[in-house]
Chain A
Amino acid sequence: MISQHVVVLAVVVECGVLAFAFLLLFLHGATARVRRRLLARRVADWRAQLIRTVNDDEQGAGVPRDVPRLPLREHLEILCALRPSIAGAGRDRVLAMAIASGLMRRGERMCASRLWQRRLRGVRLLTLLGCGETCVPPLLNDRRPLVRSQAVVWAADHADPALVGRLVELLGHPEIVAPFTVRDALQRIGRPAVGPLIEHLRQATGPAAQEPLRVADDLADPRMLGAALRLSDDDEPGSRAGAARLLGALGGAEAVETLGRMLEDPEETVRTGAAQGLGRSGHWAAGPALAGRLCDPAWEVRRAAALALRSFGSPGVLLLRRALRDSDSHARDMARQTLDLPEVAVR
């Protein structure tokens, strides 16, 4: 059997671990408590001063000289709470105060760190402050995806053409930056993103065009029509479907004609996109073509066609009513459901 000494040793070691854990537990709690108490007054003063500065229109560029020495955490907690809800001159004044308190310098230093965690903190800090034009853009090519992503978030507030171009390049590369981050940044940038996006769509083919098409769909600028028409013939069904939705958002005779043709595409995702696109364009003359899709073998296409018809108002409803007598049972069912007829309510 195991020697009794070994078990005694185990018990002693456990006692040590327990004592350590207890100490950790209490010291951490106690330190946090003491820290909160010690800093409470300074934190309250600083918060009040910041709010006064933001609200004081007469103050101009005047930044309080007596910026208190607060630990970074407390400083940032106040800024984080305040920053999203202020804009204009108040925001500039808060930034000036942050610069005066050395936060910006600190963020810039962090961005240059060899440790990725510090670089991440640096970009987050500069994103919060709204500065860092020199040190953040290179971090779009950082080794660490988290740092790259945060640099993209920062770029959303700094619509420099070169930066926007880089963001567009990053679209459709989930291994480099999360698609949501880039899409969100480009949507926030808005109009300045249209040019680089069109440029990108002119050359993009296959799966690489899908993410840019999603962003284009959100921005829906008429100048995108050429690229959308070109991509409506792409080999990749996902890209054709994306192009169909974009064409629907753009509208116009050429777009509608292409969408009508796309309703006959062999891929159901493309037919669905085309039906949705026609619905969005509001081109009720496309009603008969959509009514024909009510007997499509794919449920998604039938649903998209029926909803598009309904969105046309009276002309579409008329076609849906006609479809109630269609020889195809799928078309009849979908028309009934779309018209909210009770016999299919519960099944």
Chain B
Amino acid sequence: MRASIESLTREILVVQQWSILSYFVAVNTILLILLVASALELRSHRREVWLESDWRILSSPAAPTISMLAPAYNEATTVSESVRSLLTLRYSNLEVVLVNDGSSDATIDVLRRDFELVPILPIYRRSVESAPIRGIYRSRVRPDLVVVDKENGGKADALNAALNIASGELVCAIDADTIIEPDAMIKMARPFIGVNGHLVVAAGGTIRAVNGSKVLQGRVVEPHTPRQFVPAVQAVEYLRAFLTGRLGWNRLGGNLIISGAFGIFRRQATIDAGGYERNTVGEDMELVARLRKRGIESNGPRRVEFIPDPVAWTEVPESLRVLGRQRDRWHRGLADVLWRHRHVLFNPRYGSLGLLAFPYFLFIELLAPVVEILGLLGLIAGLTLHVVDTHFAILFMLAAYGLGLAMTVLTLALEEWGYRGYGGLRERLLLLFFALLEPLGYRQLTAIWRIRGLVKYLRGRTEWGVMTRTGFVAAEGAGEGTVGP
């Protein structure tokens, strides 16, 4: 009896190891395809923008008007700096709509004081639902700044309120603490006004981790690789996610994710789609999926473009606890979006969205952490029961580590070829160093957080969790001019 149980366990373990090995090979093949697609896309993007003049867009009355939608919740330490940075962006037809989402701190008072806000009564249509608005203000010193003070309803709700007030053809949704590159809007407007621009419904760009960089007057004046482990590995992760993941998807049928920290959409299409979904934690991804789906169904604008240019900087979590909450929420959001739009999966009507993007996000993005942890547990069990040869296991782990590392280093090579966003050689060496460390523990930890998110989603929990920020003003005031210690 005992022998037969042992033999059965061995057989199960062998089958499990084979399945995981096949999954590993399939995932890495797809990632390799994405990497090659990214390299091709980057090359073609560089050719397309070579010698293209920014002045044409900057000086054209025909350029689309853009409304920046910035929700702020308890951002009193950073809000003024962020707004100043938005108001000095290089783009002629720009308005900033900042929404104070029922902050319990002094966010609205800081804004009133720093921008001399006066109440206004604009005629607007409540096209999408949002929590009640307490007041709408315009700045006396910067008439292109509109501040909406509303009751708390969450980020999606705040963005919906801003959508109702905004007047631009395009709306750019950002987090209030996002630092945007001065010429970002010119770059972001390009997909909408270029060839086949009428088909583009949304666009995103590369976002980097600002921790460790020198920030002055709401601008990154000296980019640096973060010096601490947690933000630094996230900097590597962000590069990989944006430069190989999302850029590659441009060539493989379009993206499904546009970062909530910075994304640009057609306002009318967003309103027609019903605005942001308020009952989800992945409102940015949900909107993109809905816009693409609706565009295909109604033969309207449906393409989601990603531009590789670095357009924005965001403060990434510096503690594992906050990071864990963020990753857990992202994964819950992903699960929710895939479930809400499940009929798109493998549906040929939706083309690459149903046949490529959805399966990728389900089988690779959503389920990868589960498979990864199962694989590790199986390996430990296999080694204990002597089903797996120790030498083989070590070699295999080495191969897996090497493959992940190779992907990351190739991404860094793309970054070196394309942008060198973090500055000199020393910064890139640092990135490389953290890339070497990333697979050793950090990646497994993120897998656990993502599994926790999946479990929470299955149990129906939808809270956001608290995001603690250091704040740029504090960092400048400290004399070091850096974010974080």
Which residue numbers of A lie inside 8 Å of B, CB to CB?
1-2, 4, 7-8, 10-11, 14-15, 17-18, 21-22, 24-26, 28-30, 33, 76, 80, 84, 117, 120-121, 124-125, 127-128, 145-146, 149, 153, 174-175, 177-181, 183-184, 187-188, 218, 299, 303, 306-307, 334, 337-338, 340-342, 344-347
Q: Are B194's CB and A187's CB within 8 A?
A: no
Q: Are A124's CB and B50's CB within 8 A?
A: yes
Contact residue among B47, B48, B62, B392 (Cβ-Cβ distance under 8 Å from A180): B62
Which 5 pairs between the two chains have the least Cβ-Cβ distance?
A14-B402, A180-B193, A124-B51, A21-B409, A145-B195
Q: Interface majority SS on B: helix, strand, loop or mixed?
A: helix
Contact residue among B55, B56, B63, B416 (Cβ-Cβ distance under 8 Å from A24): B416
Q: Are A2's CB and B121's CB within 8 A?
A: no
Given contacts A25-B432, A124-B51, A146-B48, contact A344 B403 (CB under 8 A): no
Q: Are A345's CB and B119's CB within 8 A?
A: yes
Q: Which residue of A lies closest to B121 (CB)?
A: A340
What chain B residues lie within 8 Å of A125 (beta carbons)?
51
Binds A, one of B131-139, B256-264, B443-451: B131-139
Q: When each residue 418-443 of chain B gets 1 if its CB lies under 8 Å from chain A and 0 otherwise, what string results?
A: 00100001001000100000000000
Q: Are B395's CB and A183's CB within 8 A?
A: no
Q: Are A346's CB and B56's CB within 8 A?
A: no
Q: Are B56's CB and A18's CB within 8 A?
A: no
Residue tally, chain B, CB below 8 Å to A: 51
Q: Are B194's CB and A18's CB within 8 A?
A: no
Q: A125 to B132, alpha carbons, bound, how many Å?
A: 54
What chain B residues lie within 8 Å of A127 (beta carbons)?
51, 53
Please give the distance in Å from A241's CB to the nearest CB on chain B: 15
Q: Are B399's CB and A11's CB within 8 A?
A: yes
Q: A306 to B123, alpha carbons, bound, how many Å?
A: 10
Q: Are A8's CB and B395's CB within 8 A?
A: yes
A–B Cβ pairs within 8 angstroms, 8 of them: A4-B395, A11-B399, A28-B416, A149-B195, A187-B62, A345-B119, A346-B133, A346-B136
Q: When each residue 60-93 of chain B gets 1 if its CB lies under 8 Å from chain A and 0 otherwise, what string results?
A: 1111100000000000000000000000000000
Q: Are B121's CB and A344's CB within 8 A?
A: yes
Interface residues in B371-412 (C-beta closer than 8 Å to A) = 389, 391-392, 395-396, 398-399, 402-403, 405-406, 409-410, 412
Please give the distance in Å from A342's CB to the nearest CB on chain B: 7
Given contacts A25-B413, A149-B195, A184-B62, contact A7 B51 (CB under 8 A): no
Q: Are B395's CB and A25's CB within 8 A?
A: no
Q: Are B396's CB and A25's CB within 8 A?
A: no
Please give the distance in Å from A333's CB to the nearest CB on chain B: 10
Contact residue among A84, A120, A337 (Cβ-Cβ distance under 8 Å from B47): A120
Please give the distance in Å from B19's CB to the nearest CB on chain A: 13
Q: Are B428's CB and A183's CB within 8 A?
A: no
What chain A residues lie within 8 Å of B135 (beta carbons)?
345-346
What chain A residues lie within 8 Å of B50 (beta carbons)?
120-121, 124
Q: Which residue of B lies closest to A218 (CB)?
A: B61
Q: When each residue 351-375 of chain B gets 1 if its CB lies under 8 Å from chain A and 0 otherwise, what string results?
A: 0000000000000000000000000
- Tell me if B461 counts as interface (CB < 8 A to partner A): no
Q: A307 to B21, alpha carbons, bound, how many Å?
A: 67
Q: A124 to B409, alpha carbons, bound, how many Å?
A: 34
Contact residue among B47, B64, B402 (Cβ-Cβ distance under 8 Å from A15): B402
What chain B residues lie within 8 Å of A25 (beta carbons)?
409, 412-413, 416, 428, 432
- Tell me if B343 counts as interface (CB < 8 A to partner A): no
What chain B residues lie within 8 Å of A26 (beta carbons)?
425
Q: Which residue of A lies closest to B132 (CB)?
A: A346
Q: Are B134's CB and A346's CB within 8 A?
A: yes
Please give the distance in Å from B371's CB to the nearest CB on chain A: 18
Q: Are A17's CB and B121's CB within 8 A?
A: no
Contact residue among A18, A179, A184 (Cβ-Cβ distance under 8 Å from B402): A18
Q: Are A4's CB and B133's CB within 8 A?
A: no
Given contacts A17-B406, A25-B416, A124-B52, contact A11 B398 (CB under 8 A): yes
- Tell me if B113 counts as interface (CB < 8 A to partner A): no
- Tell me if B339 counts as interface (CB < 8 A to partner A): no
- Tell me if B196 counts as interface (CB < 8 A to partner A): yes
Report which residue of A1, A18, A21, A346 has the largest number of chain B beta carbons within 10 angstroms of its beta carbon.
Answer: A21
- Tell me if B417 counts as interface (CB < 8 A to partner A): yes
Q: Are B392's CB and A1's CB within 8 A?
A: yes
- Tell me if B125 counts as interface (CB < 8 A to partner A): yes
Q: Are A187's CB and B399's CB within 8 A?
A: no
Please give the distance in Å from A8's CB to the nearest CB on chain B: 6
Q: A337 to B399, alpha carbons, bound, how many Å?
A: 68
Q: Are B197's CB and A178's CB within 8 A?
A: yes
Q: Which residue of A lies closest to B406 (CB)?
A: A17
Q: A317 to B344, alpha carbons, bound, how many Å?
A: 53
Interface residues in B462-480 (C-beta closer than 8 Å to A) = none
Q: Are B409's CB and A22's CB within 8 A?
A: yes
Q: Are B123's CB and A24's CB within 8 A?
A: no
Q: Are B123's CB and A337's CB within 8 A?
A: yes
Q: A24-B417, A181-B193 are in contact. List 4 more A-B contacts (CB 8 A).
A: A14-B403, A18-B406, A149-B194, A218-B61
